[in-house]
Amino acid sequence: MDIESRLGLIRSEPTEEIVTEAEMRALLESKEHPVHYVGIEISGMPHIGHLLVIGKKVNDLHAAGVKTQVLLADWHTVANNKLGGDWDRISRAAQFYRKLFKTFCPGTEVVLGSELYRDNDEYWRLVMSMATRTTMARATRTLIIQGRSEKEVLHVSQYIYPVMQAADIRALGVDIPHSGTDQRRVHMLAKELFRELRLNEIVPLHSHLLAGLAEPQKAASAGKEEEVAAMKMSKSRPGSAIPVLASPDEITALLSSAWCPAGAVEQNPVLELCRYVIFPIAKRLSVERSAKYGGAVQFQSYAELESAFSEKRLHPSDLKRAAADAISSILEPVRGAFSDGEKEEFARTIGEKTG
């Protein structure tokens, strides 16, 4: 595959930003198989933003000849006090996450943080070296990566988190650190620290942050990154997220109550699902409706769909049903990879209901 084709895969949706595209091109020209990673904090039931948006880009990178890695960040989970900081629960949940990503991203390597750090003195030396170069103010600006704001009362562990994340990049031999746009600040910190320490150049890649299904709310802060993070799909906000193991009926119910005003394109979460999940993966969207309302139609591109919706040639109810069917179909192999017993065990581990 030539450089342009590889770049095309890497920059395709749901990619939002490459820092920078010129550096990515230079990396592909100089290294046949660059190394990637994306870190996943282990907490509750993953939603489709975690698996389908991030996972689609992992698969694109793999197809472009990049060595891909998913880091299950169990130490970071403890540092951020997720799952009550209970190591036993986190370890059991990690096994579910591992199978989940291996099912959707079979070409990727899944690494557990505690395995990476065990007997790894070099890692902890690097953490300390980076920490001595990071002021509290600089660390505080990255707190959005943990779903936190600068105004919250935090623990010391949460200030160590971004430095550990920067050290992860080096420990895994990474050229392309990958995340949602909410982690941009920590990648910029890592890029600066790598230069200060005269390490390899890194080329951060940021996927689109999928919006929650509810009506978008403005963040209290005026910052763009905080505003985007405040609107993102989140399992902590009921009705906001689609769990990866949701049943077809549950997906239909969630989409039926989603915010989707007729003709509205801006910040429309159902259109977002179509643009960043359905079309990148399924390549088309089929809408079934009676002849009275225009009959069945198949959209071959997101632009075609957006045009029909903005001109009110497609009703929100028809769009929601079609999107629910498409999401359910994409998730079917994932649901099918887990037995009922496995789903129940994971539900007990995280204290949540599965589909």
pLDDT in tens, 110-128: 999 999 999 999 999 999 9
* SS3 state at 70: strand
pLDDT (mean) for 250-269: 96
Give the count of beta carbons closer than 10 Å to the beta carbon of residue 192.
14
At residue 150, does pLDDT exceed 60? Answer: no
pLDDT band at 144 (very low <50, low <70, confident <90, very high): low
19-28, 223-232, 301-310, 331-340: which has the minimum mean pLDDT? Answer: 223-232
Residues 6+ away with beta carbon under 8 Å from 312? 262, 263
Domains of the chain and any CATH numbers: 3-207 (3.40.50.620), 246-337 (1.10.240.10)
pLDDT band at 355 (very low <50, low <70, confident <90, very high): very low
At residue 161, does pLDDT exceed 80? Answer: yes
Q: Is the pLDDT higher at 236 or at 125? A: 125
CB 94 within 8 A of CB 42: yes
Instruction: Give me the residue label for tokens 């105004």.
Output: 151
CB 57 within 8 A of CB 244: no
pLDDT (mean) for 247-272: 96
- DSSP structure string for 285-310: EEE---GGGT--EEESSHHHHHHHHH
DSSP type of residue 111 = E
pLDDT tens digits along 25-65: 999 999 999 999 999 999 888 999 999 999 999 999 999 99
pLDDT (mean) for 216-228: 60
Q: What is the pLDDT of residue 153?
A: 64
At residue 79, does pLDDT exceed 70? Answer: yes
